Amino acid sequence: MSELRGNENVRVFLVDEHHMFRAGVRHELQNSPDLELVGEAATGEQAIRHLQENPQSLPHVILADLSPSGISEADFIRATEDVAIDRRIHILFSSAAETDDGVIAAMSAGAHGFLGRSGRGDGRSTS
């Protein structure tokens, strides 16, 4: 992850096909003094395009749906790394469908963590 400087906020990019989920996360981020939403997209392909077109506002963290519509988790991670070049972007995948296979695939592809949406309050994360 690129180093935070001084009082810089943690920049977050959101990728999820569900508008209501994005709206809820957007609301929470806008009400957090230490977090800044720098962009959002409905699909992984839209997210990569946005990052390519806006290199000056690369995020520190991407919160993405486990299957970021239109692109595999591994391809999404590789494309993000290609855009970031000399920066490390932490990618956290999230899903309501918490299948072990999906989580293992995402983590094996290079995700930095997984956040479940089960509503049980026991989301998993590795970093």
84 burial (CB, 10 Å; 0-12 / 13-18 / 19+) is: middle
Tell me the C-alpha to C-alpha distance, in Å, between residue 68 and each of 7, 71, 73, 112, 116: 31, 6, 7, 15, 15
Per-residue pLDDT tens listing for the chain (127 residues): 455 666 789 999 999 998 999 999 999 999 999 999 999 999 999 999 999 999 888 999 999 987 766 788 888 888 988 888 777 899 998 877 666 777 787 788 888 888 877 655 444 444 4
The pTM score is 0.82
Domains of the chain plus CATH, in order, are: 15-57+67-116 (3.40.50.2300)
